Amino acid sequence: MTIIIFIRHGQSTSNVGKILSHDVNNFPLTDEGREQAKKTAQELKRVRIDAIFTSPILRAYQTASIIGDELGIIPVIDERLRERWLGELNNKRFDPNDHWKLKIIRGQLEVKNLEPWDSLKRRMVEFVTSLKNEEVVVAVSHYDPIRAVIGHILDLDDISAHGISIPNASMTVIEFSSSPKILSIGSPVLSPSLLSKLDRYIIRA
């Protein structure tokens, strides 16, 4: 069994600007995003962390570096954690009140070269199943890839998982075994109930 703590990167300039981007070297963390990452790092100090993996994309790598500095762990880049390939939506603004995904499902929008949901799920599950047993791992990634892990476990398609909220710097904790368990979704803190499930890994309650 492996415990994976998926963390969505802290607030970035792309989030503030409501821009979608799979670019690697654009859209850094905002000051708020750096503070969010530091707060999440303080939470993570409460459990034993064996490794940190991160998407190569700047906003995620910066988040992982802030957490790694606090925990004394050097983050390892893993391409499978990268942002969804957005095709012709890359670097485009989006309106959260008229979401592009709903437009697609209603046949009002076609997006060339958008990475399919099944591809996201496949690469995220490949990442999880590549981890060593009995480890507690932090994985810094993005909104859609983390939703895809939840979608895999709950057997939800992209639109059926649309309402899942994964705030910046939040923790989605998965106990991965032959029957995976979701211990938290988009949580800003490790709750007492969650910590009780991680009891053998606790450093400081």
Ligand X SMILES: O=C(O)[C@H](O)COP(=O)(O)O
Nearer to ligand X, 80 or 142 (CB): 142
Is 12 among the annotated ligand-binding positions?
Answer: yes
Q: How far is the CB of 117 from ligand X (least distance, A)?
A: 13
Measured between alpha carbons, how far is 187 from 165 in angstroms, rounded to an integer?
9
Q: How far is the CB of 149 from ligand X (least distance, A)?
A: 13
Q: How far is the CB of 145 from ligand X (least distance, A)?
A: 8
Is 26 among the annotated ligand-binding positions?
Answer: no
Nearer to ligand X, 11 or 184 (CB): 11
Nearer to ligand X, 143 or 176 (CB): 143
Assess whether 134 carries a catalytic annotation. Answer: no
Is residue 30 within 8 Å of residue 11, measured between CB atoms?
A: yes
Is 14 among the annotated ligand-binding positions?
Answer: yes
Measured between alpha carbons, how far is 137 from 52 in angstroms, rounded to an integer?
6
Which of 151-160's residues contact partners 24+ apart within 8 Å by CB, and which partners?
A: 151/117, 151/121, 152/121, 152/124, 152/125, 153/180, 153/182, 154/182, 157/117, 158/101, 158/117, 159/101, 159/102, 159/105
Query: Out of 9, 22, 142, 152, which one is annotated catalytic?
Result: 9
Is 177 among the annotated ligand-binding positions?
Answer: no
Is 122 among the annotated ligand-binding positions?
Answer: no
Query: Out of 43, 83, 115, 142, which one is annotated catalytic?
Result: 83
Assess whether 9 carries a catalytic annotation. Answer: yes
Footprint on this chain of ligand X (rule: CB under 6 A): 8, 14-15, 20, 83, 142-144
141 - beta bridge partners?
Answer: 8
Nearest of 35, 36, 66 to residue 138 by alpha carbon = 66
Nearer to ligand X, 43 or 144 (CB): 144
What's the gap between Cα 15 and its chain centre? 14
Q: What residues are labeled active site?
A: 9, 83
* Binding residue numbers for substrate: 8-15, 59
